[in-house]
Amino acid sequence: MKLIVLGSGTSHGIPVLGCDCAVCRSPDPKDKRMRASLYIEGNSGEAAVIDTGPEFRLQALRAGIRRLDAVFLTHAHADHLHGLDDVRPLSQEKPLPVYCDRPALEELKERFSYVFKITQRGGGKPNIIPAEIAAPAPGVWIAVNIGNLRLSPIPVKHGALDILGWRIDEGGSSQADDSTRTAVYLTDTSAIPDTSLPLIGSPEILIIDGLRTKPHETHFNFEQALHTALGLGAKQVFLTHICHDYTHQKIEEYCRNFMQERELKGISMGPAFDGLELEL
């Protein structure tokens, strides 16, 4: 499978409107961070996206996305959802399912109420079907298959909110336990419940919320994110949902120091950036 980080920025995006800090003025393209989102493409061409933030259209153009089979949501905060209308041209031939948990589904129906009313002629609407992921027991959900891709929801804490991360496997159930082919996406995360740890396993690729160095009530900081990744045994670790306190280069240094201090070998840790492509 191929993964593309469509956006690696925190809720307001970087540069921040009206901010003159060194990061917001940086000429390095890796310091331009759009709202957090991940594109996933299977080896048979199956295509999905996790979250559709306000820049979804620009991100999809830049990544050359021409097809979508499903949208997955982590939660319904504006920076993860409000670009959803822009899936319109990609949903004309067949309805596009939007997989999410019940709270996100309720929010989606409210914020995009025009999609579900017969009040508008012309102008077009996205052809989406909100799809609540099936829950056989409280807090336990069934994975979603898109062709050979399998996306499994992972409950995480985002401050007081319960939201979802997503584990991505390819190749059917027999290979799904082969962690060398697993990627896990945990944006907007401040804690992982013990019950979610076995669902995550030790993924080859972990893209994880790392807002800044200072603590934050609803997001991991760099240190918490890297410690969490270490505890999980992830091999390639990328921080995302990054704010404007540090340049890409400085975060690379931070991660290098973190690994050197602990003499870590055989793993990599660093900041994600918009347009980052990963193969698995």
| Beta carbon of residue 269, minimum distance to Zn ion (angstroms, whole number) | 21
| Beta carbon of residue 77, minimum distance to Zn ion (angstroms, whole number) | 4
Residue by residue, DSSP assigns 199-221 as: HH-S-SEEEEE---SS--SSS--
| Beta carbon of residue 76, minimum distance to Zn ion (angstroms, whole number) | 9
Order the strands of the 205-209 sheet from edge to edge. 144-146, 149-158, 161-170, 183-186, 205-209, 236-240, 268-271
Residue 126: DSSP 8-state: -
| Beta carbon of residue 52, minimum distance to Zn ion (angstroms, whole number) | 12
* Between 24 and 197, CB nearer to Zn ion: 24
Cα–Cα distance for residue pair 182/94, rounded to 1 Å: 28
For residue 254, give both structure tokens.
């931070």
Where on the chain is the footprint of Zn ion (CB under 5 A)? 11, 16, 19, 21, 24, 77, 79, 188, 244
Strands 144-146 and 149-158: antiparallel
| Beta carbon of residue 14, minimum distance to Zn ion (angstroms, whole number) | 7
* Between 170 and 188, CB nearer to Zn ion: 188
Residue 244: DSSP 8-state: S
Which CA distances in Å does 213 have to 101, 256, 264? 30, 14, 20
* Between 147 and 159, CB nearer to Zn ion: 159
Are 144 and 169 in contact, with CB atoms under 8 Å apart?
Answer: no
| Beta carbon of residue 66, minimum distance to Zn ion (angstroms, whole number) | 26
DSSP H helices, the chain, are: 56-63, 78-81, 102-111, 197-200, 222-232, 248-261
| Beta carbon of residue 277, minimum distance to Zn ion (angstroms, whole number) | 22
| Beta carbon of residue 173, minimum distance to Zn ion (angstroms, whole number) | 31
* Between 30 and 244, CB nearer to Zn ion: 244
For residue 268, give both structure tokens.
């990599």
* Between 111 and 181, CB nearer to Zn ion: 111
The SS3 of residue 189 is coil
Strands 47-50 and 128-132: unpaired
* Between 182 and 196, CB nearer to Zn ion: 196
* Between 80 and 150, CB nearer to Zn ion: 80
* Between 187 and 196, CB nearer to Zn ion: 187
- Half-sphere exposure of residue 108, counting CA atoms within 13 Å on the CB side? 31
